[in-house]
Structures are given as C-alpha cells and as structure tokens.
Structure 1
Amino acid sequence: MDKKRRNKESVESTQVINKNKCVLNTISKLVNQQKHCSVHTKKISFLPEIGNGHFEYNYFDGLFIGMFDVMLKNDFKVCGKQNTEVIELSYLIDGEQIIKIDEISNNLIYESQESYLVYISKVSGSILYHKNKHFKEIKIRMYSDFIKKHKLNSEYGIYEKYAIEKVDRNFAKPLCSKTQAILAELLTDTRKGLLKRLFLESKVLELLYLYLENKKSYKSEASTTDNLIKKLYEVQFIINSDLTTQYSLHELAREVGLNDFILKKEFKRVFHKTIFEYALNTRMIKAKKLLKHSKKPIYEISELIGYKNSTHFTAAFKKVEGTTPKKYRQNDSESLK
C-alpha cells in the first residue's frame, strides 16, 4: 500500500512540476515577445487533483506581477535555472517555501508575512512547497526594459547589495503595515487598460521604495513574524550538528521556543518523520559511513553517534539495517575484494 501511495504522489508531484514549468515558459515567452504597452493578463486555475486555487499574472513593458493563491494536495519541488537578468521582489502573504540555491550551502527558509529583494543574472536551484498549507504570494519581476527605464541598474546599488549570490539565512524581511496595504490593493484591483498599467507600475515602484527605504520599519516589526518553519529547520540543524547528544522532545521545544505538541506535529508534517525517527535515521547514516570508511572500533562509533552503551547501538543498528555493525563492516570489506 505504501508503495502504491508513493507512486501516486510521485505522479501527482510530476504533474504539478510540469504545470509550473508551463507557467515559467509562459513568463519567458512574454518577456521575449511582448514589446508594446498594453497589459497582458491571464488567470490559470490549478487542476483539482493538484490543488485548489489559481495563478494570475499581469505583464507589460518588462514588468511581471504574478499572484499565487492555492492549497496543494502534495509536497513538490520545482527545480530550474534562471539566465535572464531580473530584479525579483517577492511577498509571501501566507505559506512557506524552502529555497535551495546551488551556489549557497544552506537552505533559505521563506515564510508567511515576509518579503525579499534579489538581483539575478544567472542562478540554478529549487523551491520546495508543502502540501495542505495555504500558499499565497505576490511575485514581481523587473526585466531589462523596466530596469533601464527607472535606472535601477545604476542609481541605487541594487545589483551590488542584493545580488542573489550574497543572500544569507536572514535574507527575508517582515512585511510592514504600509506594504500590506499596497498588497491588498493589488489583490483587489479591477482596473483595465491604461489605468491598470499606470496603477500597477506606480504600486510596484511604491513597494520597491518601501523595501529600500524602510529598513528600520522591517526591524521594528520583526517580532510579529511567524517563524514556525525556521524553528523547525533550527531543530533539524541542532540534531544534525551534534549527534553525540540525544535530545528529548521537550529539550528541543524549549531550545527553539515552541510547545511540545506543535513541534511534534509540525516536524512530522515538514520532514515526514517524527523527531525520533529523523534523529535515528541520521545516526544510522553516519554510523554506516564510519563503518565503511574508517577503522574506528564499534564502541567509539557508538559514542560518536550518541550511544554511550555499544550494546544499545548494536541493537538499534540491527533493528534498522537488519544486521549488526560488525557484520555490516565485514560484508562491505568482502564486497571490495
């Protein structure tokens, strides 16, 4: 049954990825083909088996404004490359994303009521979205025509300050109240033609101004941001960085400022394993590497992954791998002869 369920989820995830690739291809065609001043607008509904919601976009004069509003039925990861020069301004009204940039070692955690500004000339990576989590984002992309028109490549140092290669784990900023008000205007706008184009362009410039100017506002309102997903990844980091210590659920919850129930529930939702299962799996992976690639005695390996008693380590290893550490090492040595 598990295999059938995994196969079904794999097929559905592939459908979602293909749909997102179609969206990205559409954006690319718009950027390359549209040279006039009219607003190109389209709204696309997600297939019911993928999720409940829609994607809507407006494009004109090198300015793309996309609006996502969906509840997905399965986790999925979108991988891709960006080779077009663009300034990207994103506002995550609800939901969470795990962003992986190939040139950067750590995952970037982006969640509800946050925003970011980046300059991209060339980048590759992936974005992970979680199922059963409402996702609502406004993503603004400013391409070469728009950038040159407003001298964004020379006047404000955006290329140097916000280059995507320089982003770190604190890349996202909380939304200020003025920004939230403008986003609400964008989401409820019904204008058409010239008025729509003027309205959208003015609001994007206002949002960009607020982001560049109001750094103090971002900092002062940071305490209102919901950092749940960041706290979950902090727990993952704590476990991975010190396998010699076997933390209890209560210790981890206290460390990141969550209650036990929320941590237990949300960790399972995000990582598809309980904290105990995740920690055990991580320990066994390290144990197998040490058994394969080192000559450390089993009692020492046991201590390195958090078992003070090698008998307990042997029992846990056998339960997971179906063999003892000693036999696992012997079998690996024999296979190399």
Structure 2
Amino acid sequence: MSSIMKSILKSDSFTEKTLTKKHPLGLRSLDLNEKDIKYSNATLNVNTKEIILDGIKISIRNEQITPPFIIEVEHSFPFLKMHFEIEGSSKYTPKNTLSVPVTIPNGHYNFFYLPKVKGTLRYDSTHRKTLEIIFTKAYLKKVFGASFKDASSEFGIALENNSPFLMWEQSKPITPQLHLIIDKIINCNYKGGLKKAYLESKTIEILTLFFDEIQHKKNNQKAFLNKDDYAKILNAEVLLKENLKKPPTISELSKLTGINQCKLKQNFKLVFNQPIFTYVTELRMEKAKNLITNQGYTIAETAYEVGYKNPQHFTAAFKKKHNYLPSSLKVVCSKN
C-alpha cells in the first residue's frame, strides 16, 4: 500500500501542464506541518498556505487567475471536505458515478463527501479567496466517538456506505457567525502546538454547527425556495452588506428586490436562519471586529463605519452580542 495520497491536476494554464500533489497517508502528522506555496505564470498567481494537523488539511488560498480557468482533477483517496468560497466561485463536474456535481458561488459554502474524485473544476472569477478543509473519516470518528452516526445523521450513513453526499444541494451563504470563525483560522498568529490546538478547536466548532444543521435538516425540507426567490434574497443580503452605515428599511429593501415585505422577511429568515435586523447587527459586529483588530480603528471610528452615530450605543450592542467590551480587542491587538 502506498504511504502517500495523490492529487493530480491537469490544465493548459499550468506551465508543466500536469501537477502532482502528495499528502501523507491519512493526513497523519504528529506535529503541526505548515508550508506556504506560491505558483505564478502569465495566466495565474496563486498563494496558498497549507497546514496539516492529524487527520486534517487546511488550505487558505488567494488566487489571481484568467477565467475561465479549467482543471482536470483526480484524487487517489476519498474526498471529505468543507469548502468556503469567500470570494470567487467554484464548479466541479464529475466524470464518474462515485462523485456528484458541486457548485459553490461567491460568498457560499458546502460540505461534501466524494468517494472517488475524477472530473473538471471550473473557476469563473479573476480573484478567488477560499478556505478549504479536508478530513479523513478516521478523524471525524475520533472527534465524535461512538456518537458519530447520531451526530452526523445521513452524512454518517453516506460515509459508512461509501456513497457520495452533498450536505446542501444548493450551497449556502457564509453567515456572519461562520465568517468570524473563518477569519480566526485565516489570521491565527499562534505557533507550534498552540496553533495546532487552536485550529483544531475552530475546525470542530464549524463541524458542530454543520452537524447540528444536518440534524435539523428534515424540519427545513419544506422550506426550499425557487431559483428566482433565492437570487432575490441573496441580492437583499448584498444590499445590506454594501450599506451597513445606513441599511435600507424593510420597505426600501422590498422595493429594491421586488419582493413583498412579508415574503422578504419570511424568505430571508429561511435562507439566513435569522431575521433581517439580527443579521444586520451580526454583519456590523463582524466588520467592527475586523476594523478594530486588523485595521487599528478607534472605537468611535468603528462605530461610525458600521452605522452607529453614538459610540456608546455601539459599545452596548457589541457587549450584548459578545459579552465583552470592544475596547478589550484593542488590548489583545496591542499585545500581538
């Protein structure tokens, strides 16, 4: 038996035409194994950070490409992955019966199991930023123990039967809650064993959210939207994100998206699992954290940027959401 797992990537956009990536069998690594990979030619510029824990591989990608960028892909191992398309889009089209199509638009994510990967990847955006986490079956069973089947429901059954499984037929928008966890993974500054433990804890946090959603999936089957309604709700979210300083009212959003107010509120909650006002607050708090910790904004400046005229009102809303003051982020930031 081979002691490595292989990924074979073929594209006319590669200088070598074919790239072979090797991974340790079972993604085994007693210590944190981290490397930065850079690849550049006339049609693409790729910066990837790859981190192998014990049974997990985390890839943080930042790519500039010339679309459409098409890759023939084949893996020598079962593919168990959660994929966050932070910017850009990804479309996998299988050439076998042991995998299924996977389409992840801009700002969306999905979690899937493909027993055998052989097919085509297509990217249609000039800039892609992604977080991709690959697991082994053994890792999931280790984390959830004897309760794995109960915790993972139909996903666990698919793994046991070696059947392809896509958690959501229609990839879901990345929520503010997930964005916060993703940012913590991407911007983690810890080293060595501390970083390994931290990244594992964040990965398990995401898995817990996913499996909790699987268990409630049946209750939501009746709630699927048609393509047109779904696209309008995604447009509503974009409008809210682009106007956090002064978000449109329900009435204004209804007119901008062409959905009546009742349907807008109902469908928005269906897609994003929370009311519009709650979602806007989460978006504001997510942006606030980034402005304070990564861009050095003051509390007053941050309050203004996320739509609060009064810094005290912002501070109160932040504390209500996170149970600590935004000023404590400045302390953490200065220590780093």
TM-score, normalization by structure 1: 0.53
CA-CA distance at 1:150 after TM superposition: 1.4
Q: 1:50 & 1:63 partners in 2: Cα distance?
A: 30
CA-CA distance at 1:224 after TM superposition: 5.2
Q: 1:91 & 1:173 partners in 2: Cα distance?
A: 10
Partners of 2:79 and 2:117 within 8 A in 1:
no
CA distances 1:176-206 after superposition (whole Å, capped 9, x unpaired) = 1110110111111111111100011000111
State which of 215, 220, 225 in structure 1 corresponds to 2:234.
Answer: 225
**SS at structure 2 position matched to 1:58:** strand
- Matched residue, 1:99: 92
Structure 2 residue 136 is matched with structure 1 residue 143? yes
Report the AA paired with residue 87 of structure 2.
Answer: D
Report the AA paired with residue 183 of structure 1.
Answer: I
Partners of 2:115 and 2:164 within 8 A in 1:
no
Report the AA paired with residue 173 of structure 1.
Answer: K
CA-CA distance at 1:118 after TM superposition: 1.0
Partners of 1:79 and 1:125 within 8 A in 2:
yes
Q: 1:89 & 1:173 partners in 2: Cα distance?
A: 12
Report the AA paired with residue 15 of structure 2.
Answer: Q
Higher helix share: 1
CA-CA distance at 1:164 after TM superposition: 6.4
Partners of 2:78 and 2:117 within 8 A in 1:
no
Report the AA paired with residue 156 of structure 2.
Answer: Y
- Matched residue, 1:201: 200
State which of 155, 159, 169 in structure 1 corresponds to 2:156.
Answer: 159
Q: 1:167 to 1:86 in 2, by over 3 A?
A: closer
Partners of 2:48 and 2:60 within 8 A in 1:
yes
Structure 2 residue 122 is matched with structure 1 residue 128? yes
CA distances 1:145-169 after superposition (whole Å, capped 9, x unpaired) = 4123114753423233687635498
Q: 1:205 to 1:134 in 2, by over 3 A?
A: same
Aligned residue pairs total 211
Report the AA paired with residue 198 of structure 2.
Answer: F
- Matched residue, 1:13: 13
Q: 1:74 & 1:50 partners in 2: Cα distance?
A: 9
- The CA RMSD measured in Å over matched residues stands at 3.6
State which of 64, 73, 83 in structure 2 corresponds to 1:90.
Answer: 83
**SS at structure 2 position matched to 1:202:** helix
Q: 1:121 & 1:107 partners in 2: Cα distance?
A: 13
- Matched residue, 1:66: 59
Q: 1:31 to 1:50 in 2, by over 3 A?
A: farther
Q: 2:167 & 2:71 partners in 1: Cα distance?
A: 21
Partners of 1:89 and 1:116 within 8 A in 2:
yes
Q: 5 Å matches for 1:26-41?
A: 26=22, 28=23, 30-31=24-25, 35-41=28-34
Partners of 2:11 and 2:70 within 8 A in 1:
no
Q: Which deviates the most, 176-185 or 102-111?
A: 102-111
- Identity percentage over the alignment? 17
TM-score, normalization by structure 2: 0.53
Q: Which deviates the most, 205-214 or 191-200?
A: 205-214
Q: 1:212 & 1:166 partners in 2: Cα distance?
A: 14
| Unmatched runs of 5 consecutive residues or more in structure 2 | 1-9, 225-229, 237-257, 259-336
- Matched residue, 1:271: none
Report the AA paired with residue 100 of structure 1.
Answer: T
- Matched residue, 1:111: 105
CA-CA distance at 1:107 after TM superposition: 5.2
